[in-house]
Amino acid sequence: MAKLSEYSAKRRFEATPEPGPVVAEGGSGPLLFVVQQHSARRLHYDFRLQCDGVLKSWAVPKGPSLDPADKRMAVYVEDHPFDYGSFEGVIPPGQYGSGEVIVWDCGTYSPDEDGTWFHDREQAQRQVREGLEKGKLSIQLRGEKLKGSFALVRTKEANQWLLIKHKDRFVTKDDITARDRSVLSGVTVADMKVVPAHRIPAAQLVPALRTGSVQPMPAKLAPMLAEIGDAPFHRDGWMWEPKLDGYRVIAFIDRDGVRLRSRRGLDLTPAFPALVKELGDQGVDGMVLDGEIVAFDANGTPSFNALQNRVQLKSQAELAAADRNAPVVFFCFDLPYFAGVDLREVPYRDRRRYLGQALLPSPLVQLVHADEDGIALQQAALASGFEGVVGKRLDSRYHAGRRSPSWLKVKPVQSAEFVIGGYTQGKGARESLGAILVGYWEDGQLRHASHVGSGFDARTLDRLLARLAPLKRRSCPFAEKPELNNPTTWVEPELVAEVQFQEWTGDGHLRAPVFLRIRDDIDAKSVRRVALAKPTGSSSPRRRGTSDLKAAKAPDSRLRGNDEGQANGGESAGEIDGILSQLDNPKHAFELATGPHRIRLTHLDRVYWPANEALQQPPLTKRDLLRYLAQVSPLMLPHLADRPLTMIRMPDGILGQRFFQKHWTQERPGFAESVTVFSGHKDEEHEYLLCNNLPTLLWLAQSGTLEFHIWHSRAKPGPDAVSKSTDYASSLESLEASVLNYPDYVVFDIDPYIYSGKEAAGAEPELNTVAFDKGREIAFHLRELLHGMSLEPIVKTSGKTGLHVFVPIRRTIDFDAAREVSELVSRHLMRLHPRDITMEWSVPKRTGKIFMDHNMNVRGKTLNVAYSPRGEPGAPVSMPLTWDELADAHPLDFRLNNAIARLARTGDRWRDALRHKQDLGRILKLGS
- List residues with catalytic annotation: 243
Distances (CA, A) of 823 to 287, 791, 818: 57, 16, 9
Listed residue (173, 158, 164, 175) closest to 141, CA to CA: 164
Degrees (nearest 5) of the Cα angle 845, 851, 853? 120
CB burial string 159-197: b at 16+ within 10 A, e below: eebbbbbeeeebbeeeebbeeeebbbbebbbeebeebeb
- Rounded Cα distance between 439 and 561, Å, is 26
What are φ and ψ of residue 19, in 5° steps?
A: -70, 155
Q: Which of 434, 572, 449, 440 is nearest to 516 (CA)?
A: 572
Interacting residues of 505 by C-beta distance below 8 A, sequence separation 6+: 511
Residue 630: CB atoms within 10 Å: 26
H helix or E strand, kind and range, residue 350: helix 348-358
Instruction: Please count the CA atoms within 13 angstroms of the CA of 818 that sit on its side-chain side.
Output: 28
The dihedral sign for the CA sequence 775, 779, 784, 788: positive
Tell me the C-alpha distance between 744 and 810, whole Å: 6
In contact, 572 and 554? CB cutoff 8 Å: no
Secondary structure of 365-400 in HEC code, one letter for each residue: EEECCCECEHHHHHHHHHHCCCCEEEEEECCCCCCC
DSSP 665-723: -S---TT-EEEEEEETTTTEEEEEEE--SHHHHHHHHHTTEEEEEE-SS-SS--TTBS-
Q: What is the 3-state secondary structure (H, E, C) of 214-278?
A: CCCCCCCCCCCEEEECCCCCECCCEEEEEECCCEEEEEEEECCEEEEEECCCCECHHHCHHHHHH
765 phi and psi angles, rounded to 5 deg: -60, 140
> Which amino acid appears at position 443 of this protein?
D
Q: Residues near 205 by Cβ (< 8 Å), separated by ≥ 6?
A: 32, 34, 85, 86, 103, 106, 107
Distance (Å, whole) CA 685 – CA 695: 26
The CA distance from 615 to 87, in Å, is: 26
Alpha helix (H) residue ranges in 789-858: 815-832, 843-846
Burial of 602 (0-12, 13-18, 19+ CB in 10 A): exposed
Q: What are phi and psi of 807, to 5 degrees?
A: -115, 105
What angle, 0 to 180 degrees and rounded to 10, lies between the N-to-C axes of helices 815-832 and 769-788?
A: 110
Go through 667-692 and write b for each residue having 16 or more CB atoms within 10 A of its CB, e for each that does not.
eeeebbbbbebbeeeeeeebebbbbb
Q: Are strands 225-228 and 403-410 parallel, antiparallel or unpaired?
A: parallel
DSSP H helical segments within 836-894, as ranges? 843-846, 883-886
The Cα 305–Cα 296 span in angstroms is: 9
The beta-strand segments (E) located in 121-237 are 136-143, 147-154, 160-165, 225-228
How far is the C-alpha of 750 from the C-alpha of 779, rounded, in Å? 7
